[in-house]
Structure 1
Amino acid sequence: MKNVIFAFALLGALLMAPQTKAQDLLQAKDVSSVNVDNLSEADLAKIQAQLKTNNMTIEQAEPMLLSKGMTAANVAKLKARLSAKSVASGSQTTSTPNGGRKQVLETNIKVKDEANALVFGSELFDNPTLDFTADLKLATPVNYVLGPGDELQISVYGVQQYSASVPVSVEGRIAIDYVGQLAVSGMTIEAATQKIKGAIAGVYSTVASGQSQVSVSLSQIRTIKVTIIGAKQPGNYSVSSLATVYNALHVAGGPAVNGSYRNIELIRNNKVYKYVDIYDFLVKGDQSANIGLKDNDVIRIPAYLNRVTLEGEVKRPGIFELKKGESFQSLLSFASGFNELAYTASINVIQKTAKEFKVTDIKQADFKTYLPQSGDVFRITRILNRFENRIKIEGAVFRPDTYSFYTGMRISDLVKKADGLKEDAYGKRARVTRLKGDLTTEVLHVDLDKALTGDMEANLVLNKEDVLTVYSILGFVEVFKVIIDGEIKNPGTYRFYEGLTLNDLLVEAGGLTGSASKRVEIARMLISEEIDNTNPNKAELFNIDITPENNEQSKNFKLSPFDVVNIRKMAVYEKPEMVAVTGAVHYAGKYVLASKKARVYDIIERAGGLTSLANIDGVKIKRPIKAKQIEELESVDLNLGKKDSIQNKLEKKLKEDLKYAIIPVDWKSIVKDQRSSTNVTLFPGDIIEIADFNEGVKVTGNVLLTSEIPFNKGKGFNYYLDAVGGLDSKGWRKKAYIIYPNGKAAVTHSFMFVKSYPKVTPGAQIIVPEKPEVKKMSTGEYVSIGSVIASLALLIVTAFK
């Protein structure tokens, strides 16, 4: 009955508006308008407390909430928020993996403190993976003080055996079977062990004689209550009796937004027992202040007294808290010092006065004495992007580089630093590029030879940031080229050197090919200071005979810059080329074109002639389509528009589908007269194809049934179309055509509404194409045409009146 009453009260609580206080939630009667998203943390805490008091879960209250008008979605949200809050603020019991010592841990969900993110030390409490919980696997400290809630594991082993887990009662006593009660509260674990052993020895005689041993260990650690004030999540916490100050601070989320990290107070028995400075741990790793807690300890985090900001070129910029008497040098140590680019001669600090801001400069000598004031903002700037003693030398020296400058340095001194001049150095002139005081640039020219021989006027005194450029005579020399082309293995452009001969160039280009002739033509450019209009020549030609076998010529010809060498090909040098014969011949295969005018009849005769199964009407030549033909087609503009589909399809068909052009051959005519026009001259790569005799006629395309019909001598074109069931709905009869076995094609003709169909022969193929789609005119288009005709008629009638 109690649960039912509470459920109705809970329904009333959920009905109230999000702004309603938690203690008024129980008075609501309808929960249909409750928005769970807007319930505050205090509202959730009150609901959670009431559920706990009445021994009721949110799952048990769910049916009542639904009956009172709360949506299923809102119920699910409420369950999720209550579950998350339980995880965030609940406690958790942990134990060792082998079921050993246990303790209670307080856990909180860690949320990044964005408002305090720059404060040095805040990351210590935002990291959920960082913990200061005592390690339960370690031995119990001998100075551990027992109290109510602890549990001891007492074992007797040897001749006599006994084992029991004995809790410390609220009166501070433990009860051991056959021994009685012993007071252990307030004793250290070491002292309690001795007391227990003595009491057991009075009962177990083998313990007194040493035949049995007694073992006492701490199996469960009591929880203690501590209060934390001034933290992000202040409150009373139940923690392990082994918990330390840092453990408690971590559970509470660390200092609040204005909390101190340097003056945390541990209050015990109403007195400050210890001051905790977290910076000692962060900067030095010193945990001497991380002492163990006792029951009813209070950790008080006061507000900070002095915080300053350090930004710019330091290793760890941020907001730092300073104690009284700490100088800027101490602040710098908290930030781990300057980084490599920091300007350290003077520090700029912005300070706050009673009315406004002011700027102060702190010299390096004052770092240890300047005491920062609360609110100071220190800005560490970068060093200047310039050098105080840099000088540079470049060009024809052995070690061009940047060097250190000293007062009184001269040109000869800098050249000596660079290990002297290289062999190609130009000594008549060197250049000094100088940056003047007003940051403009001037150029000074010196005689380098005189400067290095002791002429003080030429050996200028240098300034810092000067750049000395030593020229190279190689930079004045033009790089010449020669060209070789023709029957050479590596034709191309080669660098010209003084004394380069034709023999040298032939060898450098890999030597002559096997087709090279003895004739070499060299073209040389004409050079003249005056224009000779009477000379029409643009180049001078030289014809030289060489010996192709050894890449040499009788007279070694000396080349000049920009010569063009052409190695001619032999007048007669053609590799044997072949054609192929396939199909119904006696000796099918490839045949060399022995004659420049070899014809179809000649090759078939060399192949043994046609067999008895050959179709004399089925001789054709397949000639490969060359890439050049496709390029020529691509270059032709059919005036079909840019990227027209018709031309694109034609090019694609030539490239991918039609790899060969078909040349029909009339073998009967060739046999009668070899001078027949169909006895064509063959080209390399041609394929002569002789089909086997086939009595069938194939019908394909837009017909009802693609099939092959036996040849009937007396039947015509329409007979074969009817034999396959006729045309389908898209078939175009008047455009039907036939392809004969030799590749020749014929189409249907019409004259005065009379159609003339091509003759059908054995082995032929009839193809019926598809009708083109014709867009029909709409009713509106017919009306428009009628209107135009009517207007024209009216105009004509009016004109003849």
Structure 2
Amino acid sequence: MRKIVTVFILVFVLFQTGTLRAQDLLKGTDLSTLKVDYMSDGDIAKIKSQLQSNNTTIEQVEPLALAKGMSAAEFDKLKVRLSATSMVSSTAASNGNVLNEIKGAQGRQQERVVNNKVKDTMNSLVFGSELFDTPDLNFEPNLKLATPVNYVLGPGDELQISVYGVQEYSATIPVSTEGKVNIQYVGQIPVSGMTIEAATQKIRGAISRVYSTVASGQSQVGISLSRIRTIKVTIIGSKQPGNYSISSLATVYNALFLGGGPGKNGSYRNIELLRNNKLYKKIDIYNFLVNGNQADNVGLKDNDVIRIPAYTQRVTVEGQVKRPGIFEMKSGETFKDLLAFASGFNEFAYTASVNVLQKTSKDFKVKDIKSSEFGSYKPLSGDVFRVSKILNRFENRISINGAVFRPNTYSFYEGMRISDLINQADGLKEDAYTSRATIVRTKADLTTEVTNVNLDRALSGEVEADIYLRKEDVVTVYSILDFKEDYKITIDGEIKKPGVYEFHDNLTLNDLLVQAGGLTGSASKRVEIARMIKSDENNDANPSRVQLFNLEIASGNNEQIKNFILAPFDVVNIRRMAVYEKPEMVTVSGAVNYTGKYVLANKKEKIYDVIQRAGGLTSVANVDGVKIKRPIQAKQIEELENVNLNLGKKDSIQNKLTKKLKEDLKYATIPVDWRKIVKDPSDKTNVTLFPGDEIEVSIYNESVKVSGSVLLTSEIPYSRGKGFSYYLGAVGGTDAKGWKNKAYIIYPNGRAAVSSSFFFIRSYPKVLPGSQIVVPEKPETKKMSTGEWVSIGSVITSLALLIVTAFK
């Protein structure tokens, strides 16, 4: 009894020590008794939290842990469990729980195995290499699927055992290194090497001996695989050879993917799976790539070895196949099998034969494989098969175009005649020219010749005319419309849509009037039709170029009683009425009794007449302030542009003038001397108005405006008898740039006057109320430099010396 108590105390102390070490990995003094396999998920989570709180990694702690007695194997296990820790839900994270497994839908756990992919550039053309370069394809076992009934348990697996019903029990129990599961109150049950199905029956029987309700059926036992163990396999001959720890549910393809697939010279079709030092299975990846057959994708066991030998035979397929590349061949396989690996010919391939470049022991040789040999020819290592394109030519093509209902390319057959091809094209159109059709024929030397055929005779049954056709013939059936001239007819004048129209037989004047939109309201009864003269001989006695027809029509009516028949190229002119003018208006504004727009009563309406119609001037009107603003017409600008001022190509005076008329000056001002007009209405200043004119009568203004290059721009009250200088002095005179000699005055009616001089006596124009005095700016002058003055002095001195010398 004492011995049993002692053993129990030792075991209790051992487990307590492991727990303490797990909780205080950095501060513990002896880690030789720490067993990672017996540590719970909570212990691992506490270690990870401890590392994070100390801001360190597990690799940095390794020397310290080994110095405190922890074995290297146990430390490796600890690193694996820590590195496989996954992110947990927000609720679990708040409680400080960290899982180190990837969980399936049923809670099953499995350590993730990650291997970075290395892109295979050297073997990129080898068929099958892309299978191992795709990161999204890894053949990982699906943990969401039910556990296979033939799954063999081993150390590292973990079972979820539950008793539910009258009695309840639940625990997650790992399979120990001795291959046993230790169930509370039941004891240790060996399950290593047993299938999950057999272990379930054995564990259920052991539990029923302890839980009586299980034996009676009042309680049930549930057993599932909650954690899958990791096995080790060795891969030889891959791009990344080595030992891999993978899931016990992993298959051969999963391991090959982790190893990066076959190496540079590795075989894809003779991969060996060695188990217990014996060849267990040969794997051919082409079965999966070509047929989708995963029969070779068998499950792996602990300590399996996957050996990838070097390939024995590779060939290359180039050209017009659906999947060109480098393919590995087995002994006995034919070109037909190789073609299946390449997914067959594409739609442009020449399939009658395939050219192959072979390598001998000394040099190269070329061989052509006929289509009948595809199933018997066995490719040799190093063969390069070139599948060429079909020729861009036809073996039975014939074409017809032109005046047939279905112009197209048709199939040719021996004995085909011209009538057969026309019938195949659904016959001739109504406009077909049947006296002659052209056949362009390709001769044996690829030159062409033309053969003509009479379709009337050929289609009427004459055998000689219904000639035989040859392949590649191009038959053209002409249309009578091709020979018809494109006739036009022109209408102009008082018509709504003047222009050029198509001519048709029996086209009449009424037809053309309607087609052109009908007559306008200004159309007169006179119509002139010009018709060209056609003659084979020149008649010098008759110099007429056209024949003229003068007609009278009922204006305003598009349907004439006498309907004139037109001819090709006739020119029809509808004349305008002699008197047909729409009322035109002028505008009166300013100091008149009735401002507004007034219609010109006659073509010679004067300004005096219109102002009188407007009620005359008001009491506040400035008699000297009447003027006419006449819009500048586009024709005037065009005439100015056409005038050659001979100023040179680079001179911009004319361009500036044209631009000013177009953009700045929209009106031309005409001054009106109203005082003279009132005294004598026949005076020349009583000008005739044009449509669009604007008459302005300014209001009397008792001031004079002074502007330009003066010290103060201002309006000075008018003072009778005061002259030009008085008003300039009133604004302080001109400034430094003012040019007084060129000052001018603008009167209220728009007339301008400038200062003048006579024998050094300058006179200035008279100033009237409402006038504007403008002082322009002096032009800039370039001052001569000292050097220029010296040069001028030298020239003058030289000239003086010459003169003095000449008179000596």
SS of structure 1 residue aligned to 2:477: strand
1:441 counterpart residue number: 448
8 Å Cα contact 1:346/1:364 also seen in 2? yes
Give the match for residue 608 of structure 1.
Answer: 615
* SS of corresponding position for 2:553: strand
Correspondence 1:351 to 2:358 = yes
- The answer for unaligned runs of 5 or more in structure 1 is 1-47, 57-85
Q: Which amino acid aligns with 2:291?
A: K
Q: AA paired with 2:532?
A: M
- What is the CA distance between 1:344 and its match in structure 2? 0.8
Matched, 1:576 2:583: yes
- The letter for the 1-side match of 2:432 is A
- What is the CA deviation profile of residues 161-191 of structure 1, one whole-angstrom value per residue up to 9, with x for unaligned ones? 5444433343334444444444433333334
Whole-angstrom distance in 2 between the partners of 1:703 and 1:317:
93
Match of 1:139 in 2: 146
SS of equivalent to 1:547: coil
Of 659, 670, 677, which aligns to 1:663? 670
Deviations 1:320-368 (A, max 9, x none): 2222221111111122211112111111111112222211111110111
Q: Deviations over 1:669-695 (max 9, x none)?
A: 433433344433222222233344455
AA partner of residue 713 (structure 1): S
2:562 counterpart (545, 555, 558): 555
**Partner of residue 34, structure 1:** none
**Residue number among 424, 430, 441 corresponding to 2:431 in the alignment:** 424
State the partner residue of 1:64: none
Query: Does the CA-based 8 Å contact 2:105-2:144 persist in structure 1?
Result: no
- The aligned residue for residue 391 of structure 1 is 398
Correspondence for 2:467 among 453, 460, 464: 460
Match of 1:502 in 2: 509
Q: Is the 8 A contact 1:430 1:448 kept in 2?
A: yes
Q: TM-score scaled by structure 2?
A: 0.79
Local SS of the residue matching 2:510: helix
Letter matched to residue 178 of structure 2:
E
Q: Percentage identity across aligned positions?
A: 71
Name the residue aligned to 2:35. Answer: none
Q: For 1:434, give the aligned amino acid.
A: R
Scaled by the length of structure 1, the TM-score of the pair is 0.80
Matches within 5 A, 1:69-88: none
**1:796 to 1:111, Cα distance in 2 relative to 1, 3 A:** farther
- Amino acid in structure 2 at the alignment position of 1:516: A
Match of 1:170 in 2: 177
Q: Match of 1:151?
A: 158
Instruction: Tell me the distance in 2 between the aligned counterparts of 1:132 and 1:535.
Output: 103
The one-letter code of the counterpart of 2:195 is T
**Take 2:460 and 2:317, find their aligned partners in 1: how far apart are those partners?**
57
Note the C-alpha offset of 1:217: 3.5
Cα deviation, residue 252, structure 1: 3.1
Change (3 A) 1:438 1:163: same
Specify which of 288, 304, 326 is matched with residue 311 of structure 2.
304
- Contact preservation (8 Å) 2:523, 2:556: no
Q: Does 1:469 align with 2:476?
A: yes
Alignment of 1:271-670 (within 5 A): 271-636=278-643, 649-670=656-677
User: For residue 717 of structure 2, what is the aligned residue in structure 1?
Assistant: 711
Q: What one-letter code is carried by the residue in structure 2 that aligns with 1:622? A: K
**Given residue 218 of structure 1, which amino acid in structure 2 is its aligned partner?**
L
Change (3 A) 1:252 1:669: farther
Q: Does the Cα contact within 8 Å between 2:591 and 2:617 map onto a contact in 1?
A: yes
Alignment of 1:39-118 (within 5 A): 95-96=102-103, 100-110=107-117, 112-118=119-125
1:504-540 CA distance string (max 9 Å, x none): 2222222211111111111111111111122221111
Higher mean alpha-carbon deviation, 529-538 vs 228-237, is at 228-237
CA shift at 1:389, angstroms?
A: 1.3
AA of the residue aligned to 2:494: E
Write the distance in 2 (CA, Å) between the matches of 1:723 and 1:95.
102
* Partner SS for 2:458: helix
Q: State the match for 1:121 in structure 2.
A: 128
760-769 or 585-594, which moves further after superposition? 760-769
Assess if the C-alpha contact under 8 Å between 2:716 and 2:730 holds in 1: no
Match of 1:268 in 2: 275
In 1, Cα distance between the equivalents of 2:205 and 2:795? 130
Kindly provide the CA deviation profile for residues 627-684 of structure 1, in whole angstroms up to 9, marking residues without a partner as x: 3334444444556666876655544444444333333434344334333444332222
How many residue pairs align between the two structures?
A: 721
Higher mean displacement: 94-103 or 210-219:
94-103
Give the 3 Å change call, closer, same or farther, for CA 649–126 of structure 1 in structure 2: farther
Matches of 1:550 and 1:202 in 2, distance apart? 123
What SS does structure 2 have at the residue aligned with 1:332?
helix
SS in 1 for 2:419: helix
Cα distance in structure 2, aligned partners of 1:674 and 1:111: 109
Change (3 A) 1:363 1:679: same
SS at match of 2:112: strand
Bigger Cα displacement from structure 2, 695-704 vs 158-167: 695-704
* Superimposed CA distance per residue, residues 19-64 of structure 1 (whole angstroms, 9 cap, x where no aligned partner): xxxxxxxxxxxxxxxxxxxxxxxxxxxxx999785589xxxxxxxx
Query: Matched residues in 2 for 1:412 and 1:150: separation?
Result: 87
AA at the equivalent of 1:458: A
C-alpha displacement at 1:568, in angstroms?
0.6
Asked whether the 8 Å contact 1:327–1:372 carries over to 2, the reply is yes
What's the offset of the Cα at 1:408?
1.8
Counterpart secondary structure, 1:146: coil
CA pair 503-791 structure 1, distance change in 2 beyond 3 A: same
1:679 equivalent among 686, 692, 699: 686
1:768-787 pair list within 5 angstroms:
none
Could you tell me how far apart the structure 1 residues matched to 2:160 and 2:798 are? 119
Q: Could you tell me how far apart the structure 1 residues matched to 2:368 and 2:263 are? A: 33
Q: Deviations over 1:704-751 (max 9, x none)?
A: 77x654535377667777777887887766666555544444556677
Equivalent-residue separation in structure 1 for 2:472 and 2:715 (angstroms): 98
Change (3 A) 1:295 1:578: farther
Letter of the structure 2 residue corresponding to residue 681 of structure 1 = T
Structure 1 counterpart SS, 2:471: coil
Equivalent residues of 2:593, 2:616 under 8 A apart = yes
Distance in 1 between residues matched to 2:162 and 2:613, nearest whole Å = 114
Q: Please say which structure displays the higher CA radius of gyration.
A: 2
Q: Deviations over 1:554-591 (max 9, x none)?
A: 43222221111111111111111222223333332222
Between 1:229-238 and 1:512-521, the stretch displaced more is 229-238
Letter in 1 for 2:127: F
The C-alpha deviation readout for 1:370-396, integer Å capped at 9, x for no partner, is 111122121111212111112222223
Structure 2 counterpart SS, 1:239: strand
1:473–1:54: structure 2 CA closer, same or farther, 3 Å change rule?
same
Aligned partner of 1:658: which letter?
Answer: L
SS for the counterpart of 1:105 is: coil
Residue by residue over 1:273-302, the C-alpha shift from the partner in whole angstroms, topping out at 9 and shown as x without a partner, is 332222222222222222333333333322
Output the CA distance in 1 between the equivalents of 2:125 and 2:111. 33
Residue number among 226, 233, 236 corresponding to 2:240 in the alignment: 233
CA distance in 1, matches of 2:311, 2:227: 39
Corresponding residue for 2:266? 259
Output the aligned Cα RMSD. 3.8
**In structure 2, how many angstroms separate the alpha carbons of the residues matched to 1:650 and 1:97?**
90
Q: Give the counterpart letter for 2:554 in structure 1.
A: T
Once the two structures are TM-superposed, the CA of residue 442 in structure 1 deviates from its matched residue by: 0.9
Contact 2:103 2:110 in 1 (8 A): no
Structure 1: distance between partners of 2:762 and 2:239: 102
Partners of 2:210 and 2:730 lie apart in 1 by: 121
Q: Does the aligned pair in 2 maintain the 1:521–1:544 contact within 8 Å?
A: yes
Shift of the 192–790 alpha-carbon distance from structure 1 to 2, 3 Å rule, reads farther
Contact 1:166 1:176 in 2 (8 A): yes
Structure 2 stretches lacking a partner, 5+ long: 1-56, 66-78, 87-100
